[in-house]
Amino acid sequence: MGFDNVLKFMVEADPQAFVDWLLPNSGDNSWELLNTELKLEPIRADTVFFLQGRGRILHLEFQTEPQSKPAMPLRMLDYWVRLHRQYGCGIEQVVIYLKRTQSPLAFEDCFQFERTVHSFRVIRLWEVEASSFLHQPFLLPLAVLAKSSEPEGLLANVARRVDIIEDRAERNNVAACLQLLAGINFEKSLINLYLREEVMRESVVYQSIVAESMQKGEQQGLERGLQLGLQQGLQQGLQQGLQQGEQLGEATLILRQLTRRFGILPQVVAQQIRQLDTVQLENLGEALLDFDSMADVEKWLGDMERG
C-alpha cells in the first residue's frame, strides 16, 4: 500500500480545493465523485470526479516514483479510453509526482506510437510554489512537498496553519495527511518536532488505514510503514520504525525544548545536536536550563566540539 489512500482521502474530503488549484479559471463548483474502478479488466484510478458545469471528468494520478508497469503514458491512455467509453465525455488528466527526481520519466506527458498520440498534464510538486497550497486545509499537506528555499521553515509554517484549523475532526485529518506525506522529504524526528503523533491517531484517515491493514493481515507491518511515510508500505511496520532508541528520543526532546524557547533552530545546530551521544545529550539537557539565547546553544556546542 502506497500513498493512494491518503491522497484519495484528501481529494474526496475537499474536491473543490483540487478543482480550484488545477482548473483555476473554470468557475466550476458543481462536481460528482465517480467510481474509480473502471470496467473491462478491472483497473483502479486514483481519483476521478465529474465536473458538472463543464461536462468533463477530472482524473488525477499521484505518483511517488516515475517507474511504472505499464509505463505511465500507456496507463494514462488506457484510463482515458476506459473513462471515455464508460462516461462518453471529455477528460482532463493530471499526473502529480510527489517525490523529487531527475528521471526523464517524470517529464513524459505524452503517449506516442505510430499514429496514436495521447497527451496529459504532468505536475512535479517540487517545481510548484508552496504558496499555492497554503490557503485550503486539504491542500496544506502538499505544501511540504512543494518548492521552498527553507524546507524546515516551511514544515513549521504548515504545522502552525494546521493547528489553527477550527474544526477538530478536520484538523486531525489534515494533520494525519501532513505527517504521512511529510515523510517523503523529512526525517521522523523532525516531523515530531512540529506534529504530535496522538493527533494523527485520532484522525479518520489513520483509522481507515489501520482497519484496512488489519483486514489484510498487515498489522505487524503497520507501525514501521507509517514512520517511513508509507514509502515502503505499511507491511514493514511502524512499531519497529518508531522505536528510535534512547539517543534519538533524548535528542528529539532537547530539539523540541530549544525550538519552543528560541524558535526554529538553524539546520547546522539541529544536525550537531542529533549527532551527540547519550551522555552529551544529558549534559546539554541540564545546561540548556541556563541558556538565554541561541548564542548560548552555539557556544556550548562549540565548546563540546573542541573538547
**Do 236 and 276 share a domain, yes or no?**
no
Summarize pLDDT for 137-179 with one digit per residue, the tens. Answer: 999 999 999 999 999 999 999 999 998 999 888 888 888 889 8
Number of domains present in the structure of the chain = 3
**Residue 189 binned pLDDT confidence (cut-offs 50, 70, 90):** confident
**Do 194 and 147 share a domain, yes or no?**
yes
* Phi and psi torsions of 108, nearest 5°: -80, 125
**Do 295 and 270 share a domain, yes or no?**
yes
**Do 150 and 50 share a domain, yes or no?**
no
Looking at residue 204, its pLDDT comes to 52
pLDDT higher than threshold 50 for residue 122: yes
Domain finish residue from 110, 126, 142: 126
pLDDT higher than threshold 60 for residue 237: no
Looking at residue 105, its pLDDT comes to 96
Torsion angle of alpha carbons 123, 128, 132, 137, nearest 10°?
Answer: 70
DSSP symbols for 15-45: HHHHHHHHSTTS----EEE--SEETTTTEE-
CATH number of the domain that residue 45 is part of: 3.40.1350
Domain finish residue from 126, 160, 192: 126
Summarize pLDDT for 1-52 with one digit per residue, the tens. Answer: 456 678 888 888 888 888 889 888 766 666 676 766 665 555 566 677 677 6
**Do 166 and 221 share a domain, yes or no?**
yes
Domain enclosing residue 260, as ranges: 245-306
Looking at residue 223, its pLDDT comes to 47
**Do 22 and 59 share a domain, yes or no?**
yes
Looking at residue 140, its pLDDT comes to 94
**Do 119 and 134 share a domain, yes or no?**
no
Cell of 69: 508497469
Pairwise CA distance, residues 96 & 4, whole Å: 12
**Do 88 and 155 share a domain, yes or no?**
no
**Do 271 and 212 share a domain, yes or no?**
no
**Do 117 and 149 share a domain, yes or no?**
no
Summarize pLDDT for 56-86 with one digit per residue, the tens. Answer: 888 999 999 999 888 999 999 999 998 898 8
**Do 22 and 115 share a domain, yes or no?**
yes
Closest-CA residue to 184 (of 104, 100, 103, 127): 100
Domain finish residue from 223, 242, 261: 242
**Residue 94 binned pLDDT confidence (cut-offs 50, 70, 90):** very high
Looking at residue 306, its pLDDT comes to 77
Burial class (CB in 10 A: 0-12, 13-18, 19+), 26: middle
**Do 122 and 8 share a domain, yes or no?**
yes
